Amino acid sequence: MQLPRVRLINIFSHAYDNFLATARTCYSSKGIIEPDALRVGSDLAADEAEKQIKRKRSLAKSIYEAGHHTTLQHAHVQFALEGVSRLFIWSFLHSHPFYNSEQVSQRYVAVAPESFYIPQKLSESGRRQFVAAVEARVRDYQLLCEILEQPASEDYFARFSGRRGTKRADLEIRRKAQEIARYVLPVAALAYMYHTVSVVTLLRYWRIVNEFDTPCEQRRVVEAMVRALLEHEPEFRHIIEDPLDPEELPEYGFFAQRPEYAFFTAQQRWEVDLVHAKRFIEEFDAELGGGTSRLVDFGSRNEQVLADAVREVLGMSRAELDDDAAIALVLDPAQNRLIGEALNLSMHSKLGRALFHARYTFRKKLSHAADSQDQRHRATPASRPILMRHYTGEPDYYLPPIVAQTPAALDVYERAMRDQWNAMNELLGGGEEPQAVAYLLPNAVNIRFTESADLFGLHHKMAMRLCYNSQEEIWRACLEEAEEISRVHPRIGRWLLPPCTLRKAAGKAPYCPEGERFCGVAVWRLERSDYQRVV
């Protein structure tokens, strides 16, 4: 097992003094207060230096306690994180919108057999069972990579017949096979990444570090992040608060007061609650009606509100600009050429900001692998679950179409899922803590949640994920959502399209912005109802 490694790569110069200087500038009649002006000079007498230090600490504490935290958003810290699990990244690091990450991709980089997180809280026998289950899934992953190369190559050469026998084709086919094979890997798989947050986000991490689902791992990682900050800027220790106790968090409080849900034993250890989990899953899936994503709420007047906002920006009456024309003005790339730009400029456009007013809410079921990509769209936030509260003890997973169509792959895949749930049930039956066992859940495990977004966030997400280069499962979910919106608001939904189609409408060439990564399909010539993919 690799231990997490945390390194501070970049930080604002004199971040603490910058925090105070920004606050002082708000009330300055003399212009900008520079951070240098707040530095305690080495030439000062000891008593005067001590007075200045105390004044700075008093100011810092008063700003912090009053909640004036925008002053702490200026300074950012960039970390290199190595040996952190995919479960921790999904549950904690990427569960909010205020970060930037670039992490190694399981789609394009093969997973090494030793690259898995082993929870500390396992017993000695539990650890052996855990490792055995991980090793078995790695073998299944490697076997699936081999089996899936043939159907992946058939799909690939149907689009790129001229690349037969080339190294490029071999590489891209191998990557496509491992993209699908990774579904059997446990979420304990490790990643390395750059992760950048503001100082206030890091302080929030530390305050809520005992949150579900990965408290042990996140405490170890976040503590190292905070320690690195304080080594560089020790004065922050005078405002940083200790972590909240688990009992102070509302999720813990709910279950502590309801022992009938069997979430904790008398020793404050987890227990799984299979009965209520099954009841919830049945109810959720019935409401989903067999789909991946269902539109459950929306502004009934979204089209009219959007049109009104466009007219407000331009100072036009309905008589001068009707609803159809107003909506087309902001969403039709032929009229709003900003949509064809590589940079997402809509938020910086007066007309583009009209998209904020139309809102949609979906109930969704995605695999952990697909949801880990879905949550990277921070403008489409969701309420994701305490993972083991959905655990029923029975296999519950996504089946990729190419696996379903390949009998040899299907046999391996379904057996791997059965074996993995059996391994988890054995560990739970032996008294191992569910938060530790959760690391064995495969990437394919279904995640059920509700996601809401304004049209601005959805439009950008659709442009990214309706691209045929996007991972198949999240592509399919976005296609469902675009069709759902078109059903209730056709004047909006018709413009939820992949980037190549938008660029064609905007008169931008080449239509595909991916260059040598072109998917091989002239999607811009297709109607959305004609979109088809296997991988």
d(CA 97, CA 95): 7
Nearest to 528 by CA among 493, 491, 488: 493
The position carrying tokens 């086919």 is: 173
Would you say residue 256 has pLDDT above 90? no
* Banded pLDDT at 3 (limits 50, 70, 90): confident
Task: Examine residue 402 and state whether it is found in any structural domain, yes or no.
Answer: yes
Would you say residue 267 has pLDDT above 80? no
Nearest to 490 by CA among 300, 303, 361: 303
* Banded pLDDT at 265 (limits 50, 70, 90): very low
pLDDT value, residue 270: 62
Range scoring the smallest mean pLDDT among 9-13, 138-142, 271-275, 488-492: 271-275
What's the whole-model pTM score?
0.95
- The structure tokens listed for 185 are 């890997």
Task: Examine residue 256 and state whether it is found in any structural domain, yes or no.
Answer: no
Residue 405 and residue 350 share a domain: no
* Banded pLDDT at 266 (limits 50, 70, 90): very low
Residue-wise pLDDT for 28-65, tens only, equals: 888 999 988 888 776 777 788 788 889 999 999 999 99
Task: Examine residue 476 and state whether it is found in any structural domain, yes or no.
Answer: no
Task: Examine residue 178 and state whether it is found in any structural domain, yes or no.
Answer: yes
CA angle in degrees (0–180, nearest 5) for 56-48-62? 15
In this structure, are residues 369 and 182 in contact, taking their beta carbons and an 8 Å threshold?
A: yes
Give me the amino acid identity at 30: K
The residue-averaged pLDDT of 342-356 equals 95
Kindly compute the dihedral angle of the four CA atoms of residues 260, 264, 268, 271, in this order, to the nearest 10 degrees. 140
- Which among 383, 413, 443 is the end of a domain? 443
pLDDT value, residue 77: 98
List strand residue ranges (DSSP E) for 12-153, in order.
Answer: 76-85, 100-103
Q: How many domains does the chain have?
A: 2
Task: Examine residue 484 and state whether it is found in any structural domain, yes or no.
Answer: no
> What range defines the domain where residue 313 resides?
306-354
In this structure, are residues 175 and 101 in contact, taking their beta carbons and an 8 Å threshold?
A: no
Task: Examine residue 166 and state whether it is found in any structural domain, yes or no.
Answer: yes
In this structure, are residues 202 and 225 in contact, taking their beta carbons and an 8 Å threshold?
A: yes
Nearest to 293 by CA among 482, 91, 492, 445: 482
The residue-averaged pLDDT of 410-417 equals 98
Residue 404 and residue 345 share a domain: no
Nearest to 513 by CA among 468, 448, 456: 468
Q: What are phi and psi of 298, to 5 degrees?
A: -165, 160
Task: Examine residue 91 and state whether it is found in any structural domain, yes or no.
Answer: no
List strand residue ranges (DSSP E) for 268-320, in order.
Answer: 293-298
Residue-wise pLDDT for 164-187, tens only, equals: 999 999 999 999 999 999 999 999
Task: Examine residue 346 and state whether it is found in any structural domain, yes or no.
Answer: yes
Q: What are phi and psi of 451, to 5 degrees?
A: -130, 135
